[in-house]
């Protein structure tokens, strides 16, 4: 549930920036309609795929889920390590908001079904694409731990929290430590990906589930070690 | 169709396709080792750390 919550928080902060830019520059009705349509599509994806996953044998499920979590987890972790070590710029929500707003102002105004189509499609795409990874995390964690609704509740709680914070702040959430959250999500997805994937491949972990914290510590130590090594490398290049 | 395929490639594989290939290879090796009497639990953590470090080194140039 924590992984789904944190992943959803990061993605929703990014989606909120896009929706805010559309709402402020082009109007709230198409922006919120696009957001609602994307959330419905995400809910439909989770509802449709969730029951299908429960019929897959547990070993196959763990191997596939483990591989997916590792692929996603290493993407998150790689990006977070590069940002933490200074090799990639930190994401600036204010800059993204300014760019999206500028593009929205310059875009032509065309109406479909009484809605500003540009604001609707950009909001829809923003929320759907940012939310798709969360939907996969909800499905993979939920199906392996036997509770998709619990993982979905974690993701929904983060979405509500981010929207509430956005309403209070009335602007992009530039103070959210996105890279720290992304680092934590990357570590968790990688840990569970290694653990479940290896089990699915036929591995017997020493001590069974008790070895999961050991894998977590290993991933954390490696991640911090890589950040330190890359910082040194950057200084050497400077 | 091309954009649809590009989206899924980017979504699943991401910035470095070598990571995805490395993970698949590591799972294959783990499954082979697990089928023998040799303990295989150490292979995935080691492989993941190696894959991540190699990918980071390529990006940090």
CA angle, A94 then B4 then A98, to 5°: 10
Instruction: Give B-chain residues touching A193 at CB under 8 angstroms.
Output: 48
Place of tokens 């470095």: B16
Chain A residues with CB under 8 Å of B27 CB are: 63, 66-67, 197, 201
- What's the pLDDT at A68? 87
Using only C-alpha atoms, what is the Rg of chain A?
A: 20
Output A225-234 pairs: Cβ under 8 A, ≥24 positions apart: A226/A81, A226/A85, A226/B52, A226/B53, A226/B56, A227/A81, A227/A84, A227/A85, A228/A85, A230/A81, A230/A82, A230/A85, A230/A86, A230/A87, A230/B56, A230/B60, A231/A85, A231/A86, A233/A85, A233/B60, A234/A85, A234/A86, A234/A87, A234/B60
The 10 Å Cβ neighbour count of residue A58 is 14
User: In terms of DSSP H, where are the helices of chain A?
Assistant: 2-26, 28-53, 58-84, 93-106, 117-145, 148-169, 178-200, 212-237
Chain A interface mutation, best of B18, B50, B52, highest count of A Cβ atoms under 10 Å = B52
B42-56 pLDDT, tens digit each: 999 999 999 999 999
3-class secondary-structure state, position A143: helix
8 A C-beta contact, residue A177 and residue A103: no
Contact flag A78-B52 (C-beta cutoff 8 Å) = yes
pLDDT in tens, chain A (238 residues): 677 788 788 888 888 888 888 888 888 899 999 999 998 998 888 888 877 777 778 788 888 888 988 998 999 899 999 999 999 887 777 888 888 888 888 877 777 777 888 889 999 988 998 888 788 888 887 777 777 888 888 888 888 888 888 778 777 776 777 888 888 889 999 999 999 999 999 999 999 889 999 999 999 999 999 999 999 988 887 7
- Reported as type and span, the H/E element at residue A111 is strand A111-112
Q: Inter-chain contact B44–A78, Cβ cutoff 8 Å?
A: no
Residues ≥6 apart with Cβ < 8 Å to B3: none
Q: Specify the pLDDT at position B2.
A: 78
Which residue in the set A63, A75, A77 is minimally distant from B27, CB to CB? Answer: A63
Cross-chain residue pair A201–B40, CB shorter than 8 Å? yes
Give residue A1's pLDDT: 67
> What are the pLDDT digits (tens) for A141-166?
777 777 788 888 888 888 888 888 87
CA distance B1 to chain A (A): 17
């Amino acid at each position: 549930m924590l992984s789904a919550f944190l992943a959803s928080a990061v993605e929703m902060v990014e989606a909120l920036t896009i929706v805010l830019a559309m709402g402020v520059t082009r109007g709230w009705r198409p922006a919120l309609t696009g957001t609602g349509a994307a959330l419905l599509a995400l809910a439909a994806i989770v509802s449709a795929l969730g029951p299908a996953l429960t019929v897959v044998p547990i070993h196959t499920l763990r191997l596939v889920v483990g591989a997916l979590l590792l692929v996603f987890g290493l993407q998150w972790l790689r990006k977070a390590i590069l940002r933490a070590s200074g090799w990639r710029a930190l994401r600036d929500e204010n800059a993204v908001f300014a760019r999206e707003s500028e593009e929205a102002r310059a875009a032509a105004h065309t109406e479909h079904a009484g809605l500003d189509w540009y604001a609707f499609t950009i909001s829809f795409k923003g929320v759907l694409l940012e939310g798709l990874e969360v939907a996969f995390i909800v499905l993979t964690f939920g199906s392996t731990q036997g509770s998709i609704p619990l993982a979905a509740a974690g993701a929904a709680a983060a979405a509500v929290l981010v929207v509430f914070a956005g309403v209070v702040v009335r602007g992009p959430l530039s103070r959210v430590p996105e890279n720290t959250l992304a680092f934590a999500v990357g570590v968790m997805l990688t840990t569970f990906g290694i653990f479940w994937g290896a089990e699915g491949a036929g591995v017997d972990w020493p001590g069974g589930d008790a070895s999961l914290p050991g894998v977590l510590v290993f991933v954390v130590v490696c991640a911090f070690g890589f950040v330190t090594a890359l910082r040194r490398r950057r200084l050497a290049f400077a | 169709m091309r954009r649809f395929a590009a989206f899924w490639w980017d979504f699943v594989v991401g910035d470095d396709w070598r990571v995805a290939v490395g993970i698949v290879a590591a799972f294959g090796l783990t499954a082979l080792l697990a089928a023998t009497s040799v303990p295989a639990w150490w292979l995935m953590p080691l492989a993941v750390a190696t894959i991540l470090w190699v990918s980071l080194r390529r990006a940090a140039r």
